[in-house]
Structure 1
């Protein structure tokens, strides 16, 4: 039921009001007595939120409803309101027909696998503690959550010379970023600022291919940089002052290098580029790798030596602020980096990058295929890891074969310091996967 980041699927098919009702019942039955809820702009969200709220109240939980807000707003509000959990109805960067549920602990950290398993087990068994007619939980609106989130973001950064910033909200919930940047003194030019769950301006996922309007705007004007969010604004990506999309591994390296000093650690998943290791080595820091998923990065970020965590998807965590990926905070942190005069393009040029290859192959039996992949990787390489999939370090590069947590695919990721070496390692990885598929059929 739960994938890499919550529950996700086609609304009305995989994600239904029945499922939302069941999840609400299960969360309350697990003892989460006070829960903050909210949703993104998707058209299916209102009905799903109603069902979720009904399930929570039916099993005795009191509900604070934040309505249409960003995911990090709900995650932060769980702590501010002394609630036991937060739940957001959202499919994040997925297309408009999809929806889902993201669950957050009181700390602002995503539900861990054990918490998710407990919820899934109750749903599968239809096991709920439904209250009597006079034991239902209450519901009240949560006012001021966006204002408080914006203040927390502005308090966390210092911008000496506020630049002009272009912000592509993507018709989602990221308008809070415009508010925070304006409060910090920036001039903000917005694109796709009106809320619309059909995402008419561009697809919800902000990528190099979907941000052509933002890139063109920055290139043609004196805007210092461009920022973009997905529908629930937990992700943040950027284009530099020339209108060029900033690779997300490079963005992570910039954030990591900015915050880390000697001895500090940055949490990052196994599919993170070597550019982050190199950037941290230059300041005496290091990378601690985790399984893919912001809940695993956030869990590692609770360690006292971890000063930052991130995923190449565009999810960034500053643990002293929040354990939830916070797109508005990341946007303001990036503007802070360039506010002293250095252009984003010059900062990007200072980060040495390496050729990287990514591919997703559909497979029928992920578990059997991954078992065979692990055996082959252990036979072929000496420095291997099985933290999440099969990882092999070959000194001048690495390969990762990993089953997706949300789709019937196995993902290949290969990086090396030269293009010929990437080609060689890619051929090896593809051969391993082909053999594993053939052996499981």
Structure 2
């Protein structure tokens, strides 16, 4: 039921009102007396928010509705309201036809482990503690969630001097970023700021391709940097003052080196570039590697007392502030960093980037395909890291093959010290996946098309 970041899938197939209703019942049945509920602007979100609230109240819990709000706003509101749990109804960076649920503890951390298992157990067994007719829970609204988030950001980040920014909200619910940056002293121009769950201007995921308009706008103006979010604004990507899209690995290395303490730790997933290790080592710190996904990264950051954690996908976590990805807070931190140290274009030049290639294969059954890949890699390679999928390290590079936790796809990543070696390792990894797919096709199931161009994409400066 749960992927790497909550429950997610196509509306009407995976995400239905009966499932959402039962999640609400399960939360209240396992002790959540007050649940914060918010959503992104997808058309299906209002119906699912009603269903979630009904399930909670049927089992005696109270609901606080915060309306359309960013996922980090919802997650942090659990603590601000002294509630027991929170639910963000969002499809995140998935297409508008998808939706999902991200569940948050009273500490603002994503559900994991036993909390997830208990939700699944109660739904599977219909083990709901329904309240008596006169003990149903109540519902109220709280309209100050986004404003409270803005105030918290302004109180935690240094003001800036005469910076200008372009913020591409992506028709989602990250408009609070523009207000926070303005409060910190930035002049802000927005793109796609009107919430629209159909994402008419660009796809939700803030990739280089999807953010071409943002890059052109920053380059054509005197803006010092650009920001883009996905639909629920837990992700944040950046564009430099000259309109260059900053690869996620490079921004991760920059943030990690800036916020690691000497002798301290930062957390990054197993698919992040070695550039992160180099930058953090130069700053006197250590990188702790984790499974991919903000839930795993955040949990490990708390366990090892890390000062910062992040992913190349654009999720950034400051555990001392909140144990959840916060795209709004990250945008403010980036503004303060630029104000302290100078243009973003110059800052990323300090990061020694390696040629890194990524490719995505769509499959009908990612778990079965990944099992075939795993068997092949383990049988043919002496040392295999199985933290998440299979990773093979060589002296001059590495490759990783893993199943996505949010979509039915297999992801391939390869990196090396030079472009030719990166190409060779990438080709080796892609052939392993292609062979596993061909083997399954011989059973009569045609399962895949590559989503990216042949040869994959190369990230660098």
The TM-score range, normalised by the shorter chain, is over 0.9
Q: Tell me what 1:186 maps to.
A: 186
Q: Does 1:234 align with 2:234?
A: yes
Matched residue, 1:330: 330
Shift of 1:439: 5.3
Extract unaligned runs of 5+ from structure 1. none
Tell me, what secondary structure is at the counterpart of 2:289?
strand
Q: What is the aligned partner in structure 2 of residue 158 from structure 1?
A: 158
- In the alignment, which residue of structure 2 is the partner of 1:300? 300
In structure 1, what is the Cα distance between the partners aligned to 2:7 and 2:160? 41
Taking the aligned partners of 2:292 and 2:384, their CA distance within structure 1 comes to 17
State the shift of 1:334 in Å: 0.5
Q: Deviations over 1:336-370 (max 9, x none)?
A: 11113611011111111111111222445544443
Mark the CA change 1:362 to 1:29 in structure 2 (over 3 Å): closer, same or farther.
Answer: same
Whole-Å separation in 2 of the counterparts to 1:180 and 1:437? 47
The question of whether the paired residues in 1 share the 8 Å contact of 2:160 and 2:185 is answered with: no
Match of 1:313 in 2: 313
Query: Contact 1:93–1:204 at 8 Å: present in 2 too?
Result: yes
User: Cα–Cα, structure 1 residues 187 and 421, in superposed 2: closer, same or farther, change >3 Å?
Assistant: same
Given that residues 383 and 394 in structure 1 are in contact (C-alpha distance below 8 angstroms), is that contact kept between their aligned partners in structure 2? no
Distance 1:232 1:365, change over 3 A: closer
Classify 1:216/1:431 alpha carbon distance in 2 versus 1 (closer, same or farther; 3 Å).
closer
Q: Over residues 235-262 of structure 1, what are the superposed CA-to-partner deviations in whole Å (9 max), with x where a residue is unaligned?
A: 1001100111000111111110111132
- Say whether residues 1:64 and 2:64 are aligned partners: yes
Q: Tell me the CA shift for residue 179 of structure 1.
A: 1.1
Check conservation: 1:162, 1:184, Cα contact below 8 A: no
Measure the CA separation in 2 of the matches of 1:133 and 1:65: 22
Distance 1:173 1:78 in 2: 18
1:168 matched to 2:168: yes
Tell me if the contact between 1:171 and 1:231 (Cα under 8 Å) persists in the aligned partners.
yes
The 8 Å contact of residues 92 and 231 in structure 2, kept in 1 or not, is answered as yes
| Secondary structure at 2:303 match in 1 | coil
Mapping 1:44-123, distance limit 5 Å: 44-123=44-123
Distance 1:5 1:162 in 2: 37
* Unaligned 5+ runs, structure 2: 444-461
In 2: Cα distance, 1:423 partner to 1:136 partner: 60
User: What is the SS of the residue equivalent to 1:251?
Assistant: helix
Q: Deviations over 1:144-199 (max 9, x none)?
A: 22222111111221134240111111111111111111111111111111122222
Q: Which residue of 1 aligns with 2:353?
A: 353
**Distance in 1 between residues matched to 2:432 and 2:117, nearest whole Å:** 32
Match of 2:29 in 1: 29
Determine if the alignment matches structure 1 residue 202 to structure 2 residue 202.
yes
Match of 1:424 in 2: 424
In 2, the alpha carbon distance for the partners of 1:13 and 1:308 equals: 37
SS of the residue aligned with 1:88?
strand
Of stretches 275-284 and 355-364 in structure 1, the one that deviates more from structure 2 is 355-364
Tell me, in whole angstroms, the C-alpha distance in 1 between the residues paired with 2:49 and 2:413: 37
Distance 1:164 1:367 in 2: 46
Looking at structure 2, the residues matched to 359 and 245 of structure 1 have their Cα atoms a distance apart, in angstroms, of 19
- Cα pair 2:78 2:105 within 8 Å, conserved: yes
SS in 1 for 2:42: coil
| Counterparts of 1:381 and 1:252, CA distance in 2 | 30
**Which residues of 2 match residues 194-273 of structure 1 at below 5 A?**
194-273=194-273
- Tell whether the 8 Å contact from 1:42 to 1:198 is kept in structure 2 after alignment: yes
Asked if 1 retains the 8 angstrom alpha-carbon contact of 2:105 and 2:111, the reply is yes
Length, aligned pairs only: 441
Structure 2: distance between partners of 1:326 and 1:128: 33
C-alpha distance in structure 2 between counterparts of 1:304 and 1:386, whole Å: 20
Q: Give me the whole-angstrom Cα distance separating, in 2, the residues matched to 1:304 and 1:413.
A: 26
Q: Using the alignment, how far apart are the partners of 1:186 and 1:364 within structure 2?
A: 46
How far off its partner does 1:430 sit? 2.7
Q: TM-score, normalised by structure 1?
A: 0.96
CA distance in 2, matches of 1:435, 1:189: 48
RMSD between aligned residues: 1.6
For 1:286, the equivalent position in structure 2 comes to 286
Distance 1:437 1:211 in 2: 32
| Correspondence for 2:451 | none
Q: Tell me if structure 1 keeps the 8 A contact 2:355–2:418.
A: yes
Give the whole-Å Cα distance in 2 for the aligned partners of 1:280 and 1:101. 34
